[in-house]
């Protein structure tokens, strides 16, 4: 990993640091979301409070089931160990909920304490969470690297003016 001019590294969680077996087709079916639509945007747009809460609970159940079995990805562990050796600050930005994220981090002893979930900032591809971390680190976004595995990760990094690396 080329860290030239990089002063801090932000990781996605699922599919980047830890494995994920979330079945988004089934999740969308469970909440009535069209398969070609972002599930979080769909649920956010639900106007009936009861229906929205039920959809959020269904998503949470899927995430918690996935959290119990998530294990380090070998490349994810290698990247974190590499960044630790370079003594750069690290963070995680995930579209996951805080509860499932906490389980995954604790079960795998991921040594990253700065974590923003969808409860902390608008979900990716919105760049808000990435920019919040750069600001907290007092770094220009151009000196931060965002590492992820999905198009939303690339879009969020580009929207934030950060370099990105696709795994």
Domain map (residue ranges) of the chain:
8-19+71-166, 24-69
Residue 3 has a pLDDT of: 72
* DSSP helix, strand, coil percent of the chain (3-state; round to 5): 50, 15, 40
Between the alpha carbon of residue 3 and those of residues 11, 23, 79, 94, 143, the distances in Å are 14, 34, 11, 22, 10
Residue 145 is predicted with a pLDDT of 98
Question: pTM for the full model?
Answer: 0.93
Average pLDDT over residues 133-146: 98
Decide which of 49 and 1 is more confident: 49
Q: Which fold has domain 8-19+71-166?
A: Rossmann fold (3.40.50)
59-89 pLDDT per residue, tens: 999 999 999 999 999 999 999 999 999 999 9
Separation of first and last alpha carbons in the chain: 11
Mean pLDDT along residues 99-112: 98
For residue 40, pLDDT beyond 80: yes
Residue 69: CB partners within 8 Å, gap ≥ 6?
21
């Amino acid at each position: 990993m080329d860290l030239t001019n990089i002063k801090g590294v932000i990781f996605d969680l699922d599919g980047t640091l830890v494995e994920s077996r979330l079945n988004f087709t089934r999740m969308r079916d469970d909440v009535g979301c069209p398969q070609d639509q972002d599930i979080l945007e769909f649920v956010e747009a639900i106007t009936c409070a009861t229906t929205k809460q039920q959809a959020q609970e269904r998503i949470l159940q899927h995430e918690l089931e996935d959290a119990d079995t998530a294990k380090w990805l070998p490349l994810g562990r290698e990247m974190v160990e590499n960044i630790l050796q370079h003594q750069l600050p690290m963070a995680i930005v995930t579209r996951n909920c805080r509860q499932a994220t906490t389980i995954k981090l604790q079960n795998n002893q991921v040594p990253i304490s700065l974590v923003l979930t969808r409860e902390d900032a608008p979900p990716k591809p919105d760049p808000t969470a990435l920019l919040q971390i750069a600001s907290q680190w007092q770094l220009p976004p151009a000196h931060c690297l965002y590492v992820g595995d999905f198009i939303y990760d690339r879009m969020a990094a580009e929207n934030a003016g950060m370099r990105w690396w696709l795994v």
